[in-house]
Amino acid sequence: MTLYERAFEHGLSRLDAERAHHLGFRAIRAGAPLVARFPLRSTPVTAMGLRFAHPLGLAAGFDKNAVGIDALGALGFGHVEVGTVTARPQPGNPTPRLFRLVADRAVVNRMGFNNEGAPAVADRLARRGHRRSGSSRPGPVLGINIGKTKVVPEDDEAAVLADYGLSTRLLAPHADYLVVNVSSPNTPGLRSLQAVERLGPLLAHVRRVADAVSTARVPLLVKIAPDLADDDVLAVADLALEVGLDGIVATNTTISREGLRSHADQVAGVGAGGLSGRPLRARSLQVLRLLRGRVGPDLTLVGVGGISTADDARERVEAGADLLQAYTAFVYGGPTWPRRIVKGLDDGLR
């Protein structure tokens, strides 16, 4: 057990989860110049025409407003996916809205896409400067995850397209890759956009807008839920090939509460929201295998959900993931967790 894990078990886990996140993220940013003096040696990978220092990245949700990209890269993440960013700023759902299920090494969130909005995030990224993967400028590969503004009716297709289109127009010029999020359970109606008859026009629109505003082609991916039926997972895979997507992120959080170790009263007390962490491992792995079997070897698949150990990471790569992402295990494992996983993955694959 690391020093951080001891501190987490005996004190940090008692702090309100959202407050602990903000305090921890502030400490990461403050300590970044020191950590950056010790670069991580790793085996690079190429996906979507981009060069990644290694497969492991940080999933969307941690850095919603793109305030700590390079600090997170210094910790050892080869890519950082910021967001989810919406076209308009929004406060998200009422607090408390972030909870830990420690016995399950899991987190439940109903944040509701709280973020400063695409204009503010785009302005911040413009000041940072754009680093295309493969350039000499240090820093992780940057993914930008975009979602629907809550007040936009999900059944108004024109409004949905305009909403995602505005985010794309502002953010695509700053992205190494772009992810369309239609799978969070915390925005009412959002998951209905995963139906292929809704998803196809949305992805085509985002692709057109991104191409119109970017000097170089920005890879486009979609992030799907683990709660899709197998047939729907395969339908998304077929759509991805049909519309020429660059990849699929599998998977987002789940609304399922099956098989948890935490006491039923604690789970009920937490309430609604997306569950992430160790309980998601089996289904996320299954979805990844379904996708790889359907799309063949060329489409980039990002495995995320329940990756806690180097063995989990290696299992995901062997199942067909080109890239990996984590969030919840980072919360439980602390600032040294990314480097430990990258080293373990490198050693295992070697």
Point out the annotated binding site for substrate.
Answer: 64, 109-113, 181, 186, 252-253
Closest Cα partner for 113 from 96, 135, 91, 143?
A: 91
Closest Cα partner for 116 from 141, 94, 92?
A: 92
Give binding residues as ranges: 60-64, 84, 109-113, 145, 181, 186, 223, 251-253, 277, 306, 327-328
User: In angstroms, rounded to a whole number, what is the distance separating the alpha carbons of residues 146 and 83?
Assistant: 7
Closest Cα partner for 248 from 310, 209, 196, 307?
A: 196
User: In angstroms, rounded to a whole number, what is the distance separating the alpha carbons of residues 104 and 225?
Assistant: 20
Q: What is the DSSP string of 275-341?
A: EEEGGGHHHHHHHHHHHHHHH-SSSEEEEESS--SHHHHHHHHHTT-SEEEESHHHHHH-TTHHHHH
Tokens 């890239």, residue located: 323
Report the run of H or E that residue 82 belongs to, with start and end: strand 79-85
Pairing label, strands 220-224, 177-181: parallel
The CA-atom distances, in angstroms, between 148 and each of 95, 188, 202, 203, 224 are 20, 10, 11, 13, 14
Catalytic position from the list 42, 184, 276, 308: 184
At position 150, the amino acid (one-letter code) is K
User: In angstroms, rounded to a whole number, what is the distance separating the alpha carbons of residues 113 and 148?
Assistant: 9
Give binding residues for FMN as ranges: 60-64, 84, 145, 181, 223, 251, 277, 306, 327-328
135 assigned to active site:
no
3-state secondary structure of 222: strand
Measured from the Cβ of residue 270, the count of other Cβ atoms closer than 10 Å reads 21
Backbone angles phi, psi at 21, to 5 degrees: -60, -50
Burial 116-128 (b: 16+ CB within 10 A, else e): bbbbebbebbeee
Q: Which residues are designated catalytic?
A: 184
